[in-house]
Amino acid sequence: MNGISERDFPGLYRAADASSGIGQRSFLNGTRSRLGMLVLAASFGLFSWQVDRADVAGVVAAAAFGAALVTEIYLLTVRPDRRWYEGRAAAESAKTLTWRYLVGGSPLGKAELTDRQAESLLLERFDEIVRDLTGIHLVPTPRDVDQVTPEMRRVRNLSLDQRREWYRTGRIHDQRDWYAQKALWNERRATRWSMGLAVLELAGLTGGILKATGVVDLDLLGLTATLVGAGAAWVQTKQHQMLASAYAVACHELASLATRIDHAVTEEQWGHFVDQAEDAISREHTLWRASRT
């Protein structure tokens, strides 16, 4: 098997990855709920539903606004987005260091450091990652305590040719294929959302004309505007078009690197090649994080 399971990765990576996943789900679910409540409030604000002396539609609209407000307060105070971004940054930093250690990439190259020195430097870099975290803390599980696992040491002790194959399939090809799939997925989502918002804007224009000419009495402009605004906010949150472009660039860069992987025939050349490859992968994540924060 050419590759290493993430269960054999350092505890820091696994804890950061789990924390980031929780933050992402909380943030996206909160944002989705807030926008949905605003649309619900706008929908019930279109009509009156009298039960005895109470306007049930107005009560529902007010309750929806209240739920949206509570969700907004949660997002601003708990800041699950910060947990998402900081956790992902820590996980990606730990992951690139792990791969450098695994296959002998600079600055943890086998031509530069002994295995013990490389392990010490790896742990120092892990400590720096933890110290740089702001506003969040990573809670490890009992199985996440090892920072240098036996499998990591075993892979590092393989021959250069064996490490090259591990890196080719487990890192270069894996990341290239992931970026290609995500670029296509985000491009399709961006197109669908653009078309959907255009249809809503056309519906709003039509509704405005019909109301202005007296054809209909129902005021759909507010609801349509709310739907367009909610859709635009969600598109901004997901950033499909930006991600599609960034992932496509990263995919092409990794494809170019894959063709040159066999050119590194010495440990010094190999360490430099891995450094270049990891920089290419880290560059995409750096751009993603900058766009989010």
Note the pLDDT tens digit of each residue in 152-200: 999 999 999 999 999 999 999 999 999 999 999 999 999 999 999 999 9
Q: Give the confidence band of 145 by pLDDT, cuts at 50, 70, 90.
A: low
Cα(140)–Cα(236) distance, rounded to whole angstroms?
A: 32
Single out the residue of 275, 14, 274 nearest to residue 163, CA to CA: 274
For the chain, give every domain's residue range: 17-87+159-292
Tokens of 47: 């009509």
pTM: 0.87
Q: Give the confidence band of 3 by pLDDT, cuts at 50, 70, 90.
A: low
3-state SS, residue 161: helix
Note the pLDDT tens digit of each residue in 239-270: 999 999 989 998 999 999 999 999 999 999 99
Q: Which of 47-56, 203-212, 262-271 ranks highest by mean pLDDT?
A: 262-271
To the nearest whole number, what is the mean pLDDT of the chain? Answer: 89
pLDDT at 234 over 80: yes
pLDDT at 155: 93
pLDDT at 2 over 70: no
Mean pLDDT of 60-76: 94
pLDDT at 109 over 90: yes
Q: 196 with 231: CB under 8 angstroms? A: yes
The widest CA-to-CA distance across the chain, in whole angstroms, is 85
The count of C-alpha atoms lying within 13 angstroms of the C-alpha of 13, restricted to the half-sphere facing its C-beta, is 21
pLDDT at 94: 94
Tally of helices (H runs) and strands (E runs) in the chain: 10, 2
51 DSSP β-pair partners = 54
pLDDT at 225 over 80: yes
pLDDT at 121 over 80: yes
| Range with lowest mean pLDDT among 21-35, 124-138, 192-206 | 124-138
